[in-house]
Amino acid sequence: MSFLRSDAGRLALAEVGRLALGTATLVADIGSVRTRFGDRAAVLVETVQLRRRAAAKFTDASEWLFTDEALQQATAGPVAAHRARRLAGATVHDATCSIGSELVALRNSAAYVVGSDLDPVRLAMARHNVGAQVVLCRADALRPVTGNAVVVVDPARRSGAKRRFDPRAYQPPLDELLVALAGRDHVVKCAPGIDFAMMAELGFDGEIEVTSLSGSVREACLWSAGLTTAGVRRRATVLDTGEQLTDTEPDDCDVAPAGRWLIDPDGAVVRAGLVRHYAARHGLWQIDPDIAYLSGDRLPDGVRGFEVLEQLPYSERHLRQALSARAVGALEILVRGVDVGPDALRTRLRLRGDDRASVVITRLGSGAASRATAFICRPSR
């Protein structure tokens, strides 16, 4: 670690950074680094590779230091910046600061920031990554060393390559964490698939915010009651469009047959259980009360939709015939509520033609009236 932070280490990293380190040249490149830098070759190559991977998460991490596990868990820059904006002007203690990715965002919004972690190596990396202006110390998140600060915690949800799905298996365990933070304003980052009912069982009575970026749900975040608008228990934040939706908004929408457009709501909206709220906001309706696909006569601004060209009872034979009649050779397949594998189905359809289309396959109705239905569509983009 001290070598990587030294002038000699920075020069060595710059030299290794000029190598391709790609599949075709990796063995030769590692041999060259080993000849030049001996037993430091492995850490130099790994650091350069991690920095390149980090470019997908952060706008400027070209000089940062990482561990592989810390990079996997680190919050993407735009998501961290969104959280920091919600904490603008506050005194904030990041109690699991790791390599400092959250601290970088917080120092630009919060009035005062302090970071802590139990891992001395990650603390040293955080010091390198965030600079000298942020106070850092070694401490246990279950025993916060600050008094009145908002405590931000990102429990580890991995053990090597394995994910921890039970929040009581997080490090630190979520149930113990909520007890330790009782009576204090706090923000806890969780996996997107967190069980909302379990949170209630653990005594959490604040807001659960589900956030998406680049079309992917990135996290669920617990905001204690003192940090959210009164009455809000669920929030969906779509960073691609800047839209936010909460469960305090109206959710009165109709259920009716598909109109001109089908809309697959953003994953954050679906995961937060706010599909009906989204429909009500945008003048849409559900095509089935238990399915998240919505329909409307126009598309919400900035949203990708699917213009319905044909609706038919789903079977592979019927769908193959309909696509053949339209000379569809390239097909996007969306499935919800039906046990159909898009990739395997696409192969079996034996597509031929020059046209492109999207197919939405879903189940409509319930009980004996339930039926699988396919919509052949033209995507808006």
Q: Are 306 and 379 in contact (CB under 8 A)?
A: yes
Residues 6+ apart with CB under 8 A from 103: 94, 97, 113, 115, 126, 129, 130, 134
Residue 1 has a pLDDT of: 66
CATH class given for the domain over 71-244: alpha beta
Q: Are 212 and 218 in contact (CB under 8 A)?
A: yes
pTM of the prediction?
A: 0.90
Rounded percentage of the chain residues whose pLDDT exceeds 90: 72
The mean pLDDT of 197-208, rounded to a whole number, is 94
Separation of alpha carbons 117 and 115, rounded Å:
7
The bridge status of strand 207-213 relative to strand 216-223 is: antiparallel
Determine the distance from the C-alpha atom of residue 237 to the mean position of all C-alpha atoms in its chain, rounded to a whole number: 11
Separation of alpha carbons 311 and 295, rounded Å:
13
Lowest-pLDDT range, 1-15, 61-75, 82-96, 294-308? 1-15
Q: Are 258 and 296 in contact (CB under 8 A)?
A: no
H-run or E-run covering 151: strand 150-153
Write down the mean pLDDT value for the chain: 92
H-run or E-run covering 82: helix 77-86
Residue 252 pLDDT greater than 60, yes or no: yes
The bridge status of strand 371-379 relative to strand 306-313 is: antiparallel
Task: Specify burial of residue 164 (Cβ count, 10 A radius: 0-12, 13-18, 19+).
Answer: middle
Residue 160 has a pLDDT of: 56
| pLDDT tens figures, 107-144 | 989 999 999 999 999 999 999 999 888 999 999 999 98
Q: Among 371, 249, 381, 245, which Cα is nearest to 314's?
A: 371
Q: What is the DSSP letter of 171?
A: B
| pLDDT tens figures, 301-342 | 889 999 999 999 999 999 999 999 999 999 999 999 999 999
Residue 99 has a pLDDT of: 94
**CB neighbourhood size of 228 (10 A):** 17
Any idea how long the chain is?
381
Confidence of residue 16 (pLDDT cuts 50, 70, 90): confident
Tell me how far CA of residue 271 lies from CA of 210, 287, 345, in angstroms. Answer: 7, 18, 26
Q: Are 238 and 109 in contact (CB under 8 A)?
A: no
Separation of alpha carbons 190 and 219, rounded Å:
6
H-run or E-run covering 9: helix 7-17
- Burial track 267-288 (b if 16+ CB lie within 10 A, e otherwise): bbbbbbbbbbbbbbbbebbbbb
| pLDDT tens figures, 143-165 | 989 989 999 999 988 665 567 77
Task: Specify burial of residue 72 (Cβ count, 10 A radius: 0-12, 13-18, 19+).
Answer: middle
